[in-house]
Every structure is written in structure tokens, then in C-alpha cells.
Amino acid sequence: MAVKDIDLRDRIILALDVETPAQARELVKKTEARLGFYKVGLQLFMAGWFETVDWLVDRGHKVMLDLKFFDIPETVKLAVAQIRDRGVSLATIHGNDAIIRGALEEKGDLKLLAVTVLTSFGENDLRAMGMTQSIEDLVLYRARRALELGCDGVVSSGLEAARLRRELGGKLLLVTPGIRPGANVMDDSDDQTRIMTAGRALANGADQVVVGRPISRASDPIAVIEAMQADIVKSLG
């Protein structure tokens, strides 16, 4: 069960996975009556640099800057220094020990999330890499190390959330992507393999969920948001 006092508007982080800042602004204006937290990923950031980040912050919204920094520690340190005073609430880095240490040196009040294992990865992908441990064990190992080193939280699928919460406690901020609005069914275009509903993810221990296409491509985004929020309220009892 999620344990943090987070406003319902901030439980869902809407991924602005669109091509241009103009498209991002249009999507925000359609959804901001019900949401207050938005994710800017690599695609949108490259299209407009800090334009959308600054616009969101000026509009009073929270921002998750999802660039998944992965480089030598000094470069990551300097990159984090570039974003720590931009009003960003959450930023992502890969969960490598040296990278985490570098990022922590310059984070200030910025909250850092370590990416454990991408939700597009499945067990077969690990086997292909020659790894024998399960995804759940790998996620737990990386999450534990991130918390020990000083990260505020991690990004992991909802499938691992229950074990992370049980073994690492309530301090960990757990943000879960790979969220779908109904049954855990993928279509042929889905690039995620470890998915679940928003309510189930929070019931398993996630604090917030990241949702993109199920909302952004919906004919009625507000209806999808309201249904997901109702699912979340029900899961939190």
C-alpha cells in the first residue's frame, strides 16, 4: 500500500511524449483541470530544451524530467547542476553506483530517482544478456543500493513494487511506469512488457504512476484520467 500523503492530482504523472512543445502545451491545457504533475522525456526535451519545463513550472505544475542520465560521474554531476534550480521536482538517473554518487553531489533540493530496470525489459532480455537472476531480484538489488547511497527513490514496474515496499520500507519514493487503464492486455504496438493498472500499482506499494499514451491518445483524456483516479482511490481504501 502506498504510504505517502500525495494529492490525488499528483498521483498520476502524465508523460508528455509528443513531438513539439506546442503539442505538449495543448495536452496540458486539456488535462490540467485534473492533473498537476507532468513528465518531460528525452524526445520533448530535445525538441525544445527547457521551454516546456519552464512553461510548466511557471504554470504552477510539478515536473518530472526523465532524461535517465547515464554517463561518467563527473558529467552526470554537471548535468544535474544544470537542472537543480529550474523548478524540476523529480529527475531520473540510471542506477549505477558511481552515477548516483556524482548526481547526489549537485542535487540540492531536487529529488533523484534511480532507474532500476526499464519496463520494456522482460526475463528473456535478461537471459539474452547472460544474466541468471530474475528481474525482481535485480530491481530489488539496484533499489536497495540507490536508497543506501542517498537517492530519494526509484523507477520500477508495479510488478516489483510490493517486494520493494516490503523490504525497503516507506522512505523510498516509488514511481511506476507501464500503466494501462484496464486489464493487463497489450496490443501489437505496445513496447512495454511489465504493465498493470494504476490502482493495482498503488495497492502494490507505488507512490505515483507515469501514464502516457492511454491518456494522450484517448478521444476523451479527462474520462481516462477520472477512471484511473477512481481506481487509485479505491485501491487506497
Residue 125: how many CB atoms within 10 A of its CB?
14
Alpha-helical (H) ranges within 95-175 are 97-104, 123-128, 135-149, 158-168
Q: Convert the pLDDT of each residue in 2-30 to its tens digit.
A: 457 899 999 999 999 999 999 999 999 99
pTM: 0.89
Q: Choosing from 4, 39, 68, 111, which is the catalytic residue?
A: 68
The three three-digit cell numbers of residue 153, written as one number: 527513490
The per-residue pLDDT for 212 is: 93
The DSSP 8-state label assigned to residue 196 in this structure reads B
More confident site: 137 or 86: 86
Q: Chain-wide mean pLDDT for the chain?
A: 89
The per-residue pLDDT for 190 is: 45
> What contacts 43, CB < 8 A, 6 or more positions away?
17, 18, 19
Task: Let me know: does 191 contact 180? Beta carbons within 8 Å.
Answer: no
The three three-digit cell numbers of residue 200, written as one number: 493495482
On the 0-12 / 13-18 / 19+ scale of CB atoms within 10 A, 195 is: buried
- With bands split at pLDDT 50, 70 and 90, how would you rate the model's confidence at 1? very low
- In the block, which residue shows the cell 498520476? 12
Structural domains for the chain: 8-236 (3.20.20.70)
Residue 50: how many CB atoms within 10 A of its CB?
16
Percent of the chain with pLDDT over 90: 73
The per-residue pLDDT for 194 is: 59
Q: Is the pLDDT of residue 34 over 60?
A: yes
The three three-digit cell numbers of residue 150, written as one number: 542517498
The per-residue pLDDT for 205 is: 93
Q: Convert the pLDDT of each residue in 148-199 to its tens digit.
A: 999 999 998 888 899 999 999 888 999 999 898 864 434 444 445 557 899 9
Active site residue 68: yes
